[in-house]
Amino acid sequence: MKKIISTTKAPAPIGPYNQAILSGNTLYTSGQIAINPMTGELVLDSIKSETKQVMENMKEVLAAAEMTFENVVKTCIFISDMNTFSEINTVYGEYFNEETAPARETVEVANLPKFVNVEISMIAIK
């Protein structure tokens, strides 16, 4: 069974995808970028504020599926510049308990939608 997860508390999709799909007990989120859902504007002031907006958006997507970061088992971080890795980790780490943090990969990519600097997707289990 495939259930579409949707919330106005996170940015609306900017293409032909949904914010997340729940399949059984598993939630597959789309990649979040730093769009402020209230204004529709990108938050690109600093890599830290950009990462925080991404994580806040993701928190709302998880909440729409009645989940939290505690449910997350895997994440994928796409970044435009590996030199920002440390700052992204600092913000990202504030959302997870170090001992139960999910599996993850981080990859530098040539470009991201809307020319943002970071995009994060997650898989979570209920």
Q: Is 14 in the site for ligand DHA (CB under 6 A)?
A: yes
Angstrom CA distances, 5 to 9, 62, 92, stand at 12, 9, 23
Q: Is 93 in the site for ligand DHA (CB under 6 A)?
A: no
Q: How many residues bind ligand DHA (CB under 6 A)?
A: 7
Is the CB of residue 33 less than 8 Å from the CB of residue 44? no
Q: Which of residues 100 and 113 has its CB atom nearest to ligand DHA in the complex?
A: 113
**Choices 10-18, 40-48, 75-83, 96-104; region in contact with ligand DHA by CB under 6 A:** 10-18
Q: Is 35 in the site for ligand DHA (CB under 6 A)?
A: no
Answer for which of 30, 51, 53, 75 binds ligand DHA (CB under 6 A) is 30
Answer for which of 10, 20, 22, 33 binds ligand DHA (CB under 6 A) is 33
**Which residue in the shown chain puts its C-beta closest to ligand DHA?**
31
Residues in the site for ligand DHA, rule: CB under 6 A? 14-15, 17, 30-31, 33, 113
